[in-house]
A and B are shown apart, each in its own frame.
Chain A
Amino acid sequence: DGGITQSPKYLFRKEGQNVTLSCEQNLNHDAMYWYRQDPGQGLRLIYYSQIVNDFQKGDIAEGYSVSREKKESFPLTVTSAQKNPTAFYLCATSLATNTGELFFGEGSRLTVL
């Protein structure tokens, strides 16, 4: 089935550790995004990528890093520099020519202990 797979679904991390969240898609969409969702804050854009080997910072990129080596994959690393990493992380994709329809994965919930 076509879709977006995020893993792990739940992740616990100790302070000071980096963690990488996986996002894989088989929709053949050009663009991929990472959002963070916190209670009462809505969705905030972390990074996005329009094509392979290129990506741009979103509104809250500090403390995060990404790579886009393959069209299908857009992993997000939450580094120890991110001061409040506990959140629900959502990966999304869209067609390059699309005007706003995002397709979301199921999300990854990161908890820092």
Chain B
Amino acid sequence: QKEVEQDPGPLSVPEGAIVSLNCTYSNSAFQYFMWYRQYSRKGPELLMYTYSSGNKEDGRFTAQVDKSSKYISLFIRDSQPSDSATYLCAMSASGKWGGSNYKLTFGKGTLLTVNP
């Protein structure tokens, strides 16, 4: 079993739809969870960052972490064509710099297209 599993899609939705993106993981030591957005031929940019379990909301975006199920989600409300991108989940175990388990593990990314 891979450490982080993410459905690569592609996912195509109409403008205004609610989008749900998900990742599962196997390493129970992961505590820090991130979502990155990557536009075509560009570098990823951090979209959401959460620590441990719970929800975090930022505008149209909501990140959820369920550590008991080892499952994280990103919800996009009122999706826009400008949200069309690849979404990468990422996670790490340690917040302590220099620790041997400080490393981000990325999912493979989900390609999302929002159609006008």
Contacts and interface: CB of A to CB of B under 8 A. Distances in A.
Interface size class for chain B?
Answer: 20 to 34
A100 B92 contact: yes
Contact of A107 (B34, B43, B92): B43
Nearest to B43: A104
A100 B45 contact: no
B41 A101 contact: no
A30 B67 CA distance: 30
A105 interface: yes
Interface string A17-53: 0000000000000010000000011110100001000
A107 B41 contact: yes
A90 interface: yes
A84 interface: no
Interface in B70-116: 88, 90-92, 94-95, 97-98, 103-104, 106-109
Interface residues of chain A: helix, strand, loop or mixed (majority): loop
B46 interface: yes
Contact of A100 (B8, B104, B108, B109): B104
Contact of B8 (A40, A92, A97, A104): A40
Contacts, number: 57
Contact of A102 (B46, B94, B98, B109): B46
B49 A104 contact: no
29 contacts: A4-B43, A31-B97, A40-B108, A42-B106, A42-B107, A43-B44, A43-B88, A43-B90, A50-B98, A92-B43, A97-B97, A98-B97, A99-B92, A99-B94, A99-B95, A100-B34, A100-B91, A100-B92, A100-B104, A102-B44, A102-B46, A102-B104, A103-B46, A104-B44, A105-B43, A106-B42, A106-B43, A107-B41, A107-B43
Interface of B: 6, 8, 32, 34, 36, 41-46, 49, 51, 88, 90-92, 94-95, 97-98, 103-104, 106-109
Interface of A: 4, 31, 40-43, 45, 50, 58, 90, 92, 96-107, 109
A-B residue pairs, 8 tightest by C-beta: A104-B43, A99-B95, A42-B108, A43-B106, A100-B32, A42-B106, A99-B32, A100-B92
